[in-house]
């Protein structure tokens, strides 16, 4: 999972762990105390009580089962929408049976419109938040119109309060939608800028900075869980001759083609980077030296067999060096040993894989 996605999920979980228990306790208190007043619409208080129970149950799920966060928030949105609509329907039904005194009930329900809309924007993918928000507001307008038509005894003040509540909620929805669009645009811009800072413009792979960050993260994870980690380094053989013979534009095409075939040949958890020039790195989490060597050999064969359509019959090959993270090694130590293995592969005849050059060894 990308770091920005992880941070977003952790932030949402923290928000839910703060809001859900507070909302649950408040809903229970309102529901229980309101149900003691027999003159009010008792169905509404029952709905509020059920909402309180659901919110507290959701708090437990979010706290104990973080991986169920996505499903939980969607269930909560559905429950909130259902409670809102049931409450409106109960007020309208009560007003039809015995008109009088229901304007305040609609005003209280209206106050939840923006809250549910904000929750929908937090929990649902586009375009559902907008549909949910304006769907609820439309139902609020319809229910308000029915109640106002039936409540002939309502005072001018009561009618004005209800109309103001509906309009204020509509303005709140516009404001929430605008804030979401602006923050979303800024987030996309920040993500794009971060991607540019860690991506190679020619190949679309990670650049050296991005590779160093990813490798350090994998080293930390390997240390934390005790899992193996290897890197496969490779350098294109005699690539300067390609540039000299065919020009740098052809050289760029070759680099892009190699980047594509390597990226397609590795697993989803693996990271491929252009370290610089014609030098590439592949970070291989969960792979020991033997498995990483087999991966490197597969990549070497893929590069050797790549149809590049060069003007001559030249084929591009690569020399690979593979190293596995040692018990006390840093990311820099791992890179250094992998690089030494590349030199050993080049001095040994090129177009081959050399694995496990010991720390401190020098190329002959």
In a domain, 201, yes or no: no
179 plus 47 within the same structural domain: yes
pLDDT of res. 361:
46
Does residue 308 sit in helix, strand or coil? coil
In a domain, 134, yes or no: yes
320 plus 283 within the same structural domain: yes
Closest CA to 60 of 100, 21, 95: 21
Which range marks the domain in which residue 235 is found? 208-355
In a domain, 87, yes or no: yes
pLDDT of res. 186:
67
pLDDT of res. 279:
96
pLDDT of res. 311:
64
Token pair listed for 161: 């309060």
117 to 81, 135, 179, 290, 313: CA distances (angstroms)? 9, 10, 12, 54, 63
152 plus 75 within the same structural domain: yes
Among 141, 165, 196, the domain-final residue is 196
Among 196, 217, 250, the domain-final residue is 196
In a domain, 112, yes or no: yes
111 plus 228 within the same structural domain: no
For 321, the enclosing helix (H) or strand (E) is strand 318-324
212 plus 191 within the same structural domain: no
pLDDT of res. 190:
61
* DSSP string over 23-48: HHHHHHHHHHHHHT-TTS-HHHHHHH
For 186, the enclosing helix (H) or strand (E) is helix 156-198
Written as tens digits, the pLDDT of the chain (364 aa) is 444 455 667 777 888 888 889 888 888 887 777 666 655 545 567 777 888 888 888 888 888 887 788 888 888 889 889 989 988 998 899 888 888 788 888 998 898 899 899 889 888 888 899 999 999 999 999 999 999 998 888 888 889 999 999 999 999 999 998 888 887 776 667 656 666 678 898 999 999 999 999 999 999 999 999 999 999 999 999 998 888 888 888 899 999 999 999 999 999 999 999 999 999 999 999 999 999 999 999 999 999 998 887 766 578 999 999 999 999 999 999 999 999 999 999 999 999 999 986 554 444 3
Is pTM, for the whole model, over 0.95? no
pLDDT of res. 37:
61
Tally of domains within the chain: 2
d(CA 260, CA 279): 15
113 plus 190 within the same structural domain: yes
186 plus 214 within the same structural domain: no
In a domain, 363, yes or no: no
* DSSP string over 229-282: EEEEEEEETTHHHHHHHH-HHHHHHHHHHHHHHHHHHS-TT-EEEEEETTEEEE
347: region left, alpha or beta (phi > 0 left; psi from -120 to 50 alpha)? alpha
In a domain, 340, yes or no: yes
Closest CA to 232 of 277, 201, 194, 262: 262
Among 139, 162, 196, the domain-final residue is 196
CATH number at residue 326: 3.30.70.270
In a domain, 236, yes or no: yes
Does residue 349 sit in helix, strand or coil? coil
In a domain, 105, yes or no: yes
Token pair listed for 278: 């014609």
pLDDT of res. 1:
43
283 plus 343 within the same structural domain: yes
Per the CB < 8 A criterion, the answer to whether 323 and 342 are in contact is: no
48 plus 151 within the same structural domain: yes
């Amino acid at each position: 999972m990308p770091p920005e996605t992880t941070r977003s999920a952790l932030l949402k979980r923290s928000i839910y762990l703060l809001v859900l228990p507070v909302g649950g306790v408040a809903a229970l208190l309102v529901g229980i105390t309101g149900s003691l007043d027999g003159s009010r619409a008792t169905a509404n208080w029952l709905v509020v009580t059920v909402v309180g129970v659901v919110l507290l149950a959701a708090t437990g799920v979010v706290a104990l089962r973080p991986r169920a966060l996505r499903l939980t928030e969607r269930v909560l949105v559905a429950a909130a929408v259902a409670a809102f609509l049931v409450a409106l329907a109960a007020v309208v039904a009560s007003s039809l049976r015995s008109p009088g005194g229901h304007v305040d009930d609609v005003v209280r329900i209206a106050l939840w419109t923006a809250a549910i809309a904000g929750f929908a924007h937090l929990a649902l993918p586009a375009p559902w938040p907008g549909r949910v928000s304006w769907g609820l507001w439309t139902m609020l307008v319809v229910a308000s119109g029915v109640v106002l038509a039936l409540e002939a005894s309502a005072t001018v003040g009561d009618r004005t309060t209800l109309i103001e509540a509906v309009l204020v909620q509509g303005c709140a929805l516009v404001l929430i939608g605008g804030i979401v669009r602006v923050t979303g645009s800024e987030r996309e811009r920040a993500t794009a800028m971060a991607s540019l800072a860690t991506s190679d413009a020619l190949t679309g792979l990670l650049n050296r900075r991005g590779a160093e960050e990813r490798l350090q993260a994998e080293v930390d994870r390997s240390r934390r869980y005790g899992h193996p980690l290897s890197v496969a380094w490779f350098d294109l053989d005699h690539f300067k001759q390609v540039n000299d013979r065919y020009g740098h534009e052809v050289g760029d095409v070759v680099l892009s083609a190699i980047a594509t075939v390597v990226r397609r040949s590795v697993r989803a958890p693996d990271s491929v980077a252009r370290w610089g020039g014609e030098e590439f790195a592949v970070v291989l989490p969960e792979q020991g030296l033997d498995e990483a060597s087999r991966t490197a050999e597969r990549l070497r064969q893929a590069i050797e067999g790549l149809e590049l359509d060069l003007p001559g019959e030249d084929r591009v090959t690569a020399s690979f060096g593979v190293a596995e993270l040692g018990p006390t090694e840093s990311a820099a130590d791992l890179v250094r040993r992998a690089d030494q293995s590349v030199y050993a592969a080049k001095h040994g005849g090129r177009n081959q894989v050399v694995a496990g050059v010991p720390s401190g060894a020098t190329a002959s």
